[in-house]
Structure 1
Amino acid sequence: MAQQELILIETLCTHYEIEVSFVDSLYSLGLIEIHTIEQTRFIPEEKVADLEKMIRIHQDLEVNPEGIDVIFNLLRKINNLRSELADTKNRLIRYELENQ
């Protein structure tokens, strides 16, 4: 199993100029994943891009964590619907080719 790279939460907060409480609120809503090792909290490196999106939404659009939760849920639903639509189109194409 590949070792997961973890980034210290305090380092991210300093870099992005955000409060640790903002990260805590995102975690309490289930929007980000936090790993705790010896009472030190980290975020997996591959999840930092999602955190960056949430920070931009919060800072640029002044959306609170609950609003960010709604936005990310809607984005997930849109992606699921796009996937379903692509699958349906592929089945339709196969059906049309079989019946020519």
Structure 2
Amino acid sequence: MGTKNLISVQLICNHYNIPVSFIDTLNEFQLVDIIIENKNLFIHKSQLKEVEKLMRIHYDLEINFEGLDAIYNLLNQVESLKEEITLLQNKLRFYEDL
């Protein structure tokens, strides 16, 4: 597996001035997936946005990791419900136009 779509955890931590243990703890709470390749830690590029969001919540709002886990899951549920509402509205519009 190549590192084309992966970002080094060390690079992220250096860029945002956060400890590697932050990403490790996110991994322990299953909020991000760490990929180990050639003894280096990586995350997928698609998870970078989530890491940034979780970092802001944790450091700016001083929310602990248990709270981060709860907030993250609630935000995912809200996003899922929004998608479902959009789908149902589209179906309703289809049937109203008949």
Higher-Rg structure is 1
Q: Percent identity?
A: 38
Between the aligned partners of 2:38 and 2:3, the Cα distance in structure 1 is 17
Task: After TM superposition, list the pairs within 5 Å mapping 1:1-100 onto structure 2.
Answer: 4-98=4-98
Cα shift at 1:79: 1.1
Q: TM-score, normalising length from structure 1?
A: 0.84
Between the aligned partners of 1:87 and 1:5, the Cα distance in structure 2 is 31
Moved runs in structure 1, 4+ residues, more than 4 A?
none
5+ long unaligned stretches in structure 2: none
Cα shift at 1:77: 0.7
- Aligned-CA RMSD value: 1.7
Q: TM-score, normalising length from structure 2?
A: 0.86
Between the aligned partners of 2:97 and 2:46, the Cα distance in structure 1 is 41
5+ long unaligned stretches in structure 1: none
- Secondary structure of the residue aligned to 2:30 is coil
CA contact (8 A) 1:22 1:65 kept: no
- Secondary structure of the residue aligned to 1:43 is strand
Between the aligned partners of 2:25 and 2:69, the Cα distance in structure 1 is 10
Between the aligned partners of 2:90 and 2:24, the Cα distance in structure 1 is 42
- The alignment covers a number of residue pairs equal to 97
